[in-house]
Amino acid sequence: MSCVTKHSKGRYVLLGVIAWLAAFSLPQSAHAEYADVVINNYADAAGIRPVVFPHWFHRIRFRCKVCHADLGFQFKAGGNKITMAKIIDGKFCGACHNGEIAWSVENCAMCHSGIPGTPTHFHGSTVQRLVAPAYKPVERQ
Ligand code: HEC
Ligand code: HEC
Ligand code: HEC
């Protein structure tokens, strides 16, 4: 066996390892965004960022029925006519985001984190970015 053959064999093994690592690390780094729901019936028009609802984050903590039966959330992206008045009144997100079960409504940027102009939709992609990097606080705060 010549020296050259040995070297190229080593290179193939190295390439194989890199490809294997890439195959397992790339999808995971973007996974968290899959199945998020962007809610933007009113936000853009009201001059605030669209809401990004992390569905999986909530699904692993609560049964479907908590939200879709007890709290009355329709199974449809944007299908619930959610307003801040209703949230502060303890409905929809406000049933939990009340400072007891979860942090309260004054954390505007936690929910209003979407890129302005992103329409209401169920997010089926693992690669497209939804959340805007830097948040500019709204005047009202
Ligand atoms: C727990 C999540 C959550 C938090 C925290 C939150 N919002 Fe919202 N907000 C929503 C959702 C969901 C909607 C509905 C979005 C839509 O359909 O466009 C909404 C809608 C709005 C709207 C448009 C409709 C309306 O009611 O006028 C404004 C303006 C708004 N939010 C401002 C704020 C401000 C200001 C804060 C912080 C003081 C805040 N929100 C905190 C979830 C939240
Ligand atoms: C913490 C509350 C919560 C829990 C728990 C929850 N959901 Fe949802 N779900 C929502 C909200 C909020 C929306 C978006 C509604 C909107 O845009 O107005 C939604 C939207 C949906 C949709 C329509 C969008 C899509 O992804 O196609 C389906 C289907 C759905 N949920 C199924 C489920 C199932 C199945 C479970 C249990 C495994 C579950 N949900 C658990 C709150 C919840
Ligand atoms: C059934 C209870 C429940 C409902 C309803 C609910 N949440 Fe939550 N949410 C939680 C809990 C619990 C946490 C975790 C709080 C913590 O880490 O302290 C959370 C965390 C979050 C987070 C942060 C996720 C992260 O990565 O840390 C966001 C954003 C959020 N909720 C948005 C919403 C919006 C928008 C709605 C309404 C459309 C909503 N939630 C409705 C219980 C709920």
Each residue of 98-125: pLDDT tens digit? 999 999 999 999 999 999 999 999 887 7
Residues 56 and 125 in one domain: yes
Per the structure, how many domains does the chain have? 2
Determine how β-strand 121-122 pairs with β-strand 37-39: antiparallel
Q: What are 36-65's pLDDT values in tens digits?
A: 999 999 999 999 999 999 999 999 999 999
51-53 and 121-122 as β-strands: parallel, antiparallel, unpaired? unpaired
Q: Which residues sit with their C-beta closer than 6 Å to ligand 3? A: 51, 53-54, 57-58, 61-62, 66-67, 71, 92-93, 95-97, 101-103, 110-111
Position of tokens 């693992």?
126
pLDDT at 20: 52
From 96, 108, 122, the mutation candidate for ligand 3 (largest count of ligand atoms within 8 A of CB) is 96
Residues 132 and 118 in one domain: yes
CA-nearest residue, atom 39 of ligand 2: 64
Range of the domain at 26: 1-32
| Residues 56 and 34 sit within 8 Å (Cβ to Cβ) | yes
Q: Rounded to an integer, what distance in angstroms lies between the CA atom of residue 126 and that of residue 141?
A: 33
pLDDT digits (tens, 9 = 90+) for 21-42: 544 444 333 334 678 999 999 9
Q: What are phi and psi of 57, to 5 degrees?
A: -55, -40
Q: Which residue has the tokens 């992103």?
A: 118
Do 55 and 88 fall into the same domain?
yes
Element (H, E) at 121: strand 121-122
